[in-house]
Amino acid sequence: MWPIILIIVEIIAVVILVIMQVSGVVIPNAANAVAFAGYSKTLITLVKYMPQVYLNYKRKSTVGWSLENIILDLTGGSLSLVQLMIDVFARDNLNAFNPIKFSLSVIAIFFDLVFLF
88 C-beta neighbours (distance < 10 Å), count: 16
pLDDT tens digit sequence for 37-79: 788 888 888 888 888 888 888 988 878 778 888 899 999 999 9
105 falls in which pLDDT band (50, 70, 90)? Answer: very high
CA distance 116 to 114: 6
Query: Quick check: is 87 in a domain?
Result: yes
Which position has the higher pLDDT, 81 or 22?
Answer: 81
Predicted pLDDT of residue 76:
92
What's the domain count of the chain? 1
Query: Quick check: is 30 in a domain?
Result: no
Contacts (Cβ under 8 Å, ≥6 apart) of 77? 104, 105, 106, 107, 108, 109, 112
User: What is the average pLDDT score of the chain?
Assistant: 83
Question: What range does the domain containing 111 cover?
Answer: 39-117
Query: Quick check: is 45 in a domain?
Result: yes
Query: Quick check: is 5 in a domain?
Result: no
Predicted pLDDT of residue 67:
84
pLDDT tens digit sequence for 66-77: 888 889 999 999
The overall pTM is greater than 0.75: no
16 falls in which pLDDT band (50, 70, 90)? Answer: confident
Query: Quick check: is 74 in a domain?
Result: yes
3 falls in which pLDDT band (50, 70, 90)? Answer: confident
